[in-house]
Amino acid sequence: MATKTPITVAHGDGIGPEIMAATLHILESAGAQLDIETIEIGEKVYLSGNSSGIAQSSIDSLRRTKVFLKAPITTPQGGGFKSLNVTTRKMLGLYANIRPCVSYHPYVDTKHPVMDVVIVRENEEDLYAGIEYQLSADVTQSLKLITRRGTERIVRYAFEYAKANGRKKVTCFTKDNIMKISDGLFHKVFDELGKQYPEIEQEHWIVDIGAAKLADTPEIFDVIVMPNLYGDILSDVAAQIAGSVGLAGSSNVGMEYAMFEAIHGSAPRRAGQNLANPSGLLLGGVMMLAHIGQPEIAARVHNAWLKTLEDGVHTYDIFQEGVSKTKVGTKEFAQAVVDRLGQMPEKLKAVEYKALPKLPEPAYPHYDKIEQSGVDIFVNYEGDANELGQKIEKLGTDKLKLVFISNRGTKVYPGGGADVVKADQWRCRFEGDRTQITPRDILALYTSFVDGGFNIIKSEGLFYYDDQRGYSLGQGQ
Ligand code: NAD
């Protein structure tokens, strides 16, 4: 008798309890070995005064089992409620979001009959770090963070996923023609790690044309890995054009923890009527079985589910006159899948699952020589660029001289940029001999700004890493 794997289950809100009951019925009938701890999350918890929607005792359960099967929840209207998804993702370090987007033509209506794309989205970094500022009356800013280690984790996950699941190609989307340092790092790590997977075809697309191709000819893609923001948007696009928003499951995986769910919400208007399609959560549950080392059961469930679709046993949301045969409710659909356990699809492609190996924690990157060559000081000022430039020029010290002033990234001093529309925040770049500059020289420059009557909004150090410049030039420099 196989040992049971402890998992934490939340039945959620709206249609959540019905689709979770259906999912667990199918998984257990298929022979999944699960030791279930049930927790309460979502609307009731929020409304009881817990702004995160999850109690400490539930978090303790997640820490124990490390595996979370989660039904959708309803986020109450009004402010002050923190997103439970963001909370769990951050708390559990779930760095990878995996979303298979598959079309099931001709059984489910789709614009793209041949589509089988897996979006692997980085889940913790990028603009989602939530580091935002209002810097002046005019200017706001969100920081886009891309780390080498975070990128190594997600890119390795994408390649290992492809390898374990018999996928042929991994594509990377970035915008590194513009964001040469942050997206440039993502692309570079993709190329570096890709060398360890010579059996897998690899390509990189700039995200704009890549997105257009994905929406137009998704059949040319297989696994696509990308930073958080592009992944957020394009995983929705991919699920939508597959025609399977109600059918798609998703996993959020970390080094230690993992969470599995449907991609849709709690559909409150459908709740309690035995109408909802449990397929999205079921496929989330299937990904969970592969993750916890029960890949044969995962495939058994998935193939029975494909056979059910083929047999035209459909819930209302995918029912089509002339294609579907029997319109069923949530419970009947679940029973139809159970009745087909052990059967394989005849027209749709059967699936096979393999568990991924435990992936290594990336090492901290190392440089032999890191030198500061200067500093960008941002000041608040309303007025003429030349006037400001002449004042700022005088603030330079023996070691640090003004190189340029830019406004919204474009050089406006010395000489030029007069035509650009200017914001009230100006970036003043000072550089010097990087073998000579010490932190005290930077401090002396700050002092000279303060003595000159300027308000420093923020500053960024300018560094060289093993003789490579670690910052972008000014536009027009
Ligand atoms: P939704 O996904 O709940 O519903 C969108 C549409 O799809 C509705 O017409 C609904 O009836 C239909 N639908 C969704 N799932 C279905 C299913 N399994 N079977 C049949 N029909 C289905 O999105 P929404 O209406 O924007 O959001 C409702 C609530 O869900 C909100 O409170 C939102 O915050 C929450 N939500 C939760 C999650 C989550 O917990 N992961 C994700 C998205 C939205």
* Residues 160, 209 share a domain: yes
**Whole-number Å distance between alpha carbons of 122 and 226:** 6
Q: Which of 211, 242, 273 is the last residue of a domain?
A: 242
Report how far ligand 1's centroid is from the alpha carbon of 270 (Å). Answer: 9
Residues facing residue 137 across a β-bridge: none
The residues, any chain, with a CB within 8 Å of residue 61's CB and separated by 6 or more, are 8, 37, 39
| Domain span including residue 462 | 370-469
Co-location of 117 and 237 in the same domain: yes
Report if residue 475 sits inside a domain. no
Q: For ligand 1, pick from 266, 274, 282 the residue to mutate: most ligand atoms within 8 Å of CB.
A: 266
Nearest to 7 by CA among 68, 58, 50: 68
CA dihedral 168, 174, 177, 183 (to 10 degrees): -120
DSSP 116: E
In angstroms, the CA 432 to CA 116 distance is 53
CA 369, 373, 379, 383 torsion-angle sign: negative
Integer Cα distance of 75 and 53 in angstroms? 8
CATH number at residue 181: 3.40.718.10
Residue 78 has phi, psi (to 5 degrees) of 100, 165
Residues ≥6 apart with Cβ < 8 Å to 333: 22, 277, 278, 279, 308, 313, 314, 315
Cβ contact 260:69 at 8 Å: yes
* Same domain assignment for residues 314 and 376: no
Distance CA 58, CA 9 (A): 10
Mean pLDDT by 10 residues, the chain (477 residues): 89 97 98 97 91 92 97 87 85 95 94 95 92 93 97 98 95 97 98 98 98 97 98 93 89 96 94 97 97 96 98 96 96 98 96 90 96 97 92 96 94 79 93 96 96 94 97 84
Tell me the two tokens of residue 197. 């997977």
Strand pairing of 410-413 and 326-327? unpaired
Omega before residue 414 within 30° of 0, cis: yes
Nearest CA to ligand 1 atom 36: 265
Same domain, 137 and 238: yes
Task: Decide if 331 contacts 22 (C-beta within 8 A).
Answer: yes
Which of 40, 52, 264 most suits a substitution to test ligand 1, by most atoms within 8 Å of the C-beta?
264
End-of-domain residue from the set 242, 259, 290: 242
Q: How many domains does the chain have?
A: 3
- pLDDT of 417 reads 63
DSSP string, 15-46: THHHHHHHHHHHHHHTT--EEEEEE-BSHHHH
Whether residue 352 lies inside any domain: the answer is: no
The full DSSP string for 117-132 is EEEEEE-SSBGGG--E
pTM score, whole prediction? 0.94
Together in a domain, 231 and 134: yes
CA torsion, ordered 467, 471, 472, 477, to nearest 10 deg? -70
The CATH number given to whatever domain includes residue 385 is 3.30.70.1570
Q: Which two tokens stand for residue 346?
A: 């005849």
Helix (H, G, I), strand (E, B) or coil at 177: coil
DSSP conformational letter for 324: -
- How is residue 473 annotated by DSSP? P
DSSP letters spanning 94-114: --EEEEEEE--TTTS--S-SS
Same domain, 379 and 291: no
Question: Position 125: which residue type?
Answer: E
Which of 196, 211, 242 is a domain's end point? 242
Q: Please tell me the distance from the alpha carbon of residue 255 to that of residue 34, in angstroms, as a whole number.
A: 21
CA of 266 relative to ligand 1 center, distance in Å: 4
Report which secondary-structure segment, H or E, holds 380: strand 370-380
Question: Looking at the domain assignment, is residue 414 inside a domain?
Answer: yes
What does R_g of the chain's alpha carbons equal in angstroms? 27
- Which atom of ligand 1 is least distant from the CA of 262? 41
136 and 229: one domain?
yes
Q: Are 249 and 286 in contact (CB under 8 A)?
A: yes
In ligand 1, which atom is closest to the CA atom of 12?
40
Q: Residue 269 CA: which ligand 1 atom is closest?
A: 11
Give me ligand 1 centre to Cα 69, in Å: 17
Same domain, 296 and 237: no
Q: Could you tell me if residue 336 is inside a domain?
A: yes
pLDDT of res. 246 = 87
Residue with tokens 């496929």, as numbered in its chain = 283
Euclidean distance between CA atoms 31 and 324, whole angstroms: 29
Same domain, 66 and 119: no
Answer yes or no: is 282 within a domain. Answer: yes
| Pair (121, 223) in one structural domain | yes
Contact 104, 46 (CB under 8 A): no
Q: How far is the CA of 382 from the centre of ligand 1 (A)?
A: 47
